[in-house]
Amino acid sequence: MVAQKIPFVSDRQNAGPVGVLDRATVPRYGEIMNLTVEIPDELARSLNAAGGDLSRRVLETLALDEYRADRLSKDALCQALGFETSYQLDGFLKEHGVWIEYDAEDIARERATLERLCS
């Protein structure tokens, strides 16, 4: 088995060298948690053969899964992935088949805002 070191970066701008976390604490945003995941050699070869930044792919998958499970807010997801605008996040979510929930209350709120701005 190959131990793949995959950093979980909650704020890409503050990324820097850190040691592997060996305590059961969760970092605050702006800090880095390193995770070591042991996977079979065959899977490691397959993942590496797919190309791209494996650490980034794992971060995106984990963060997206947490968002889908309502354990990560849209703002937290945006920060964790290092997006500067909500448009970047919306594009990322659309690319991964995640549609933003938009209900009648949202429509009414936007309509009221539009009417206020246009009057």
What does the pLDDT read at residue 10?
Answer: 42
Residue 107 lies in a domain: no
Number of domains in the chain: 1
| pLDDT tens-digit readout, 87-96 | 899 999 999 9
* 103 domain-assigned: no
Domain of 12, in residue numbers: 2-84
**Nearest to residue 93, comparing CAs of 72, 111, 107?**
72
Residue 13 DSSP class? G
Residues of the chain under the 50 pLDDT cut: 4, 6-26
- The pLDDT tens digits of the residues spanning 76-88 come to 999 999 999 888 9
Cα-trace Rg, the chain: 18
Query: What pLDDT is attached to residue 24?
Result: 44
Q: Answer left, alpha or beta for residue 97, where phi above 0 means left and psi between -120 and 50 means alpha.
A: left
Whether residue 22 is contained in a domain is answered as: yes
Q: What is the pTM of this model?
A: 0.59
Q: Is residue 118 domain-resident?
A: no
Q: Is residue 56 part of a domain?
A: yes
Tell me if 73 is assigned to some domain: yes
